[in-house]
């Protein structure tokens, strides 16, 4: 739904979110404002946002949905999305995975392979919290802690709606 519909839903007492969000937005009738409930458990007035461009882009989104227990992590569920949204988050430097994958701890991430001279460099990066400045290859961390550089999506992966962001 578009934000105008999401706003109406919030004013009717519903919580709303975008598909990959782990938190949600709600309406505060007393303050006449939108409250942002983050996945870290913080609540802030939308007028206090520090990431104005990000917030505006969210407002312009057309894929708002009702936040419910099963689709919102801070309400006890799992936020899932389609492959297209997963790619967007990969491009932002986040890790993504499918809930339907068999191995524990598997995820995809982007790398700029020119930044690594050895496999040890790649392993050291995986253990750090750094971000890549110019990622250009999709890589996978496998269940047995190997790194597969140049991962390719199957048709099943591309059509799946169970993609999620990995912390």
Answer yes or no: do 93 and 159 share one domain.
yes
Q: Do 143 and 162 belong to one domain?
A: yes
Distance CA 117, CA 110 (A): 16
The domain boundary, picked from 56, 75, 94, lies at 75
Q: Let me know whether 62 and 9 are in one domain.
A: yes
The verdict on 161 and 126 lying in the same domain is yes
Shared-domain flag, residues 95 and 150: yes
Q: Distance between CA atoms of 70 and 77, rounded to whole angstroms?
A: 4
- Residue 119 dihedral angles phi and psi, to the nearest 5°: -60, -30
**Sequence-separated (6 or more) residues with CB below 8 Å from residue 113:** 136, 137, 149
Residue 88 and residue 69 share a domain = no
Residues 157 and 114 in one domain: yes
Q: How far apart are CA 147 and CA 119, in angstroms?
A: 9
Asked if 99 and 118 sit in the same domain, the reply is: yes
Residues 114 and 50 in one domain: no
- Reported pTM: 0.67
75, 99, 120 - which closes a domain: 75
- Over residues 26-74, the pLDDT tens digits come to 999 999 999 999 989 999 999 999 989 989 999 999 999 999 999 999 9
**Could you read off the pLDDT of 77-131 as tens digits, one per residue?**
988 999 998 998 898 888 999 998 988 899 999 987 666 566 666 666 655 555 4
39: number of Cβ within 10 Å: 15
How confident is the prediction for the chain on average, in pLDDT?
A: 88
The single residue listed with the structure tokens 């004013």 is 11
Looking at the structure, do residues 14 and 89 belong to the same domain, yes or no? no
Please give the span between the terminal C-alpha atoms of the chain, in angstroms, as a whole number. 27
Question: Which of these three, 36, 54, 75, is where a domain ends?
Answer: 75
Domain of 100 in residue numbering reads as: 83-166
Within this chain, do residues 104 and 157 fall inside the same structural domain, yes or no?
yes
Residues 61 and 117 occupy one common structural domain: no
């Amino acid at each position: 739904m578009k934000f105008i519909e999401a706003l109406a839903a919030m004013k009717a007492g519903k919580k709303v979110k975008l598909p990959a969000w782990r938190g949600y937005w709600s309406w505060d009738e007393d303050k006449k404002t939108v409250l942002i409930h983050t996945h870290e458990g913080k609540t802030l007035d939308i007028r206090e946002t520090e990431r104005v461009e990000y917030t505006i882009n969210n407002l312009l989104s057309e894929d708002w949905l009702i936040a419910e227990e099963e689709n919102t992590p801070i309400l006890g569920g799992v936020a899932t999305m389609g492959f297209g949204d997963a790619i967007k988050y990969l491009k932002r430097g986040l890790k993504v995975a499918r809930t339907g994958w068999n191995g524990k701890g598997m995820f995809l991430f982007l790398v700029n392979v020119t930044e690594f001279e050895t496999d040890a460099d790649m392993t050291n990066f995986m253990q750090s919290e750094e971000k890549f400045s110019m990622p250009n290859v999709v890589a996978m961390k496998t269940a047995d802690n190997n790194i597969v550089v140049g991962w390719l999506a199957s048709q099943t992966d591309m059509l799946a709606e169970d993609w999620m962001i990995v912390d």
